[in-house]
Structure 1
């Protein structure tokens, strides 16, 4: 009997599950954002249409421009005209290359100012970003181009002398189009890096918003120190010009803004319509830059 009891005890010990060690949670990285007034949409236009673009952008939204110059902004030989257009509803960095554009430039949709370049890059990589080019110096600071899930490319930049821009009247939205294959990964990685807050997540939004009447899409709004972001998740079968609109600008009066735009040579590609509680239109500036413009439906 004693021998049987000993054997039974040994079997119980051998077959009792051993608790798995607790998995360490990924370390939370710091927030390296500086403010949405320092976030710029990168706009590449033909060199011959550079002035027309900058002039039309400011005529449409107001604001001021920085001093124009010609610079090498890439780590390999190149030359571009470059200028900032700072408006109350968002800033663009305009580039009119006089030489061929070196890889991988031209694919990045935005430039985000960070408070610490090396730490921000390390944080981005730890949250799933891939460097398309390693950090390099430019005439006034340092830059890097990274890519997130779904092929979302952006530049992070840091200035030797900290810039000082006025706060925006309305913060624009970075408009990102994804399929379900990459959406959740992108959202997880971006919110982790940017300390982003999901403001809304509508799984039954109308496809009319992105030119797909009769379909249902998912629309997510995220806010962070880098500004606003709206993500449209669909089958990706988008009619022109949806998906080409990188930034959405909030204005007080859509009709008045479109009138200014038209007078400045801007085309209306999608006429104003009521979607998701706002009046929205899509326009194209001289040089080819396409943007969404909207105002609250209560106007």
Structure 2
């Protein structure tokens, strides 16, 4: 009897060690920092320079060298330029050829320390592979999808980049229904090593254009930056849901004045919600974004 219990205890301990190791492995953080995470913006080549100029006029910063590259694993040609601002960065693409599927549907590019390990971790934590790892002119990339149809790119650079820290960290804005929100959040937390900052089941519906009711809002923080998940029945008015990224600024009114002077259209005028003021704008070329500041800015 004593032998049986010892064996059972050993088996249990081994099982716990295995599960603990698997859990730790699944939570390995492959992020590099939010200043290396970019929103992917696709515009027509004729709108390319106008968009870049308007984005810099709104948030400050500078643009990297513009060039024409093949950034997909199948034949294509695109204008490409990185725009670095204190409020976040964007990777701008102006395809001269048709955009190969499924490119153009990924919202963000996240720099990782190890592309193979990061992809394996994502797949082990509920993601699926849209495009297997492939080389690009400066590194390697992969496209993945999380539950709810959240597409993103993971990338790795051959030569380690060095970007300055951001003044404010942008938020990845994700709109989901209750059917899949918890699954997405659970998988993302395990992959990113992130934490839930807040989970409000009765957040103001005005945040998704429905001032008459409430929604659930989940805020998450990780090495990949900020994320906010809006959970609703999916019946939300335009342009909500098209705003993939939210940018924090010190003074909202001043920023919007700069934006308007650069040809940016104010789609949703500033409104107060959850301790901050928010607006939604559309840049030349069609890129829609949220911009927010404190109640006085």
1:99 to 76, 97, 100: 97
Q: For residues 127 and 191 of structure 2, what CA distance do their matches in structure 1 show? A: 9
On the 8 A contact 2:56/2:62 being kept in 1, the answer is yes
Over the aligned positions, Cα root-mean-square deviation in angstroms equals: 1.5
For residues 31-50 of structure 1, give each alpha carbon's deviation from its aligned partner in whole angstroms, at most 9, with x where no partner exists.
Answer: 10000000000000011100
1:28 corresponds to: 24
The aligned runs of 1:10-159 (5 Å cut-off) are 25=19, 26-29=22-25, 30-159=28-157
For residues 210-229 of structure 1, give each alpha carbon's deviation from its aligned partner in whole angstroms, at most 9, with x where no partner exists.
Answer: 10122211000000000000
Q: For residues 258 and 298 of structure 1, what CA distance do their matches in structure 2 show? A: 14
Larger Rg: 1
2:5 corresponds to: none
2:293 corresponds to: 295
**How many residues are matched?**
282
1:177 to 175, 178, 183: 175
SS across alignment from 2:106: coil
1:241 to 211, 220, 239: 239
TM-score (norm 1): 0.92
The answer to whether the aligner puts 1:213 opposite 2:211 as a matched pair is yes
Q: For residues 295 and 159 of structure 2, what CA distance do their matches in structure 1 show? A: 41
SS across alignment from 1:248: strand
**Structure 1 residue runs of 4+, over 6 Å off?**
18-23
1:13 corresponds to: none
SS across alignment from 2:23: coil
Q: For residues 293 and 225 of structure 1, what CA distance do their matches in structure 2 show? A: 21
For residues 109-165 of structure 1, give each alpha carbon's deviation from its aligned partner in whole angstroms, at most 9, with x where no partner exists.
Answer: 000000001000100000011000100000000000000000000000000000000
On the 8 A contact 2:251/2:296 being kept in 1, the answer is no
The answer to whether the aligner puts 1:197 opposite 2:159 as a matched pair is no
Q: For residues 253 and 23 of structure 2, what CA distance do their matches in structure 1 show? A: 48
